[in-house]
Amino acid sequence: MPPGDTLETVTPSYAALFAGPLLSPDLPAPASVAGPRSKAVVKRYNVYRNNVTVSLINALRATFPATERITGEDFFRAMARFYVRARPPTSPLLFEYGRDFADFIEQYEYARPVPWLSDVARIERAWLDAYHAADAQALAPHTLASIPPERLADTVFSPHPAMRILRSRFAALTMFSAHRKDGSVARIEAVEPEDTLVTRPELEVVARRLPAGGATFLRRLASGYPLGAAVAAAIAESPSFDLATNIAGLLEAGAFTAAVPCDTDRSRPVEEKDFSRGRYAL
pLDDT at residue 226, as a whole number: 96
**DSSP string for 90-126:** -SS-GGGTTTTHHHHHHH-GGGTTSTTHHHHHHHHHH
pLDDT (average), residues 157-181? 94
pLDDT at residue 19, as a whole number: 57
Q: Domain locations in the chain?
A: 1-114, 134-282
Could you tell me if 118 and 176 are in contact, meaning their C-beta atoms sit under 8 angstroms apart? no
From first CA to last CA, the distance across the chain in angstroms is 48
**Mapping DSSP to helix (H, G, I), strand (E, B) and coil, where does residue 3 land?**
coil
pLDDT (average), residues 222-239? 96
Per residue in 72-121, pLDDT (tens digit) is 999 999 999 999 988 988 888 888 999 999 999 999 999 999 999 999 99
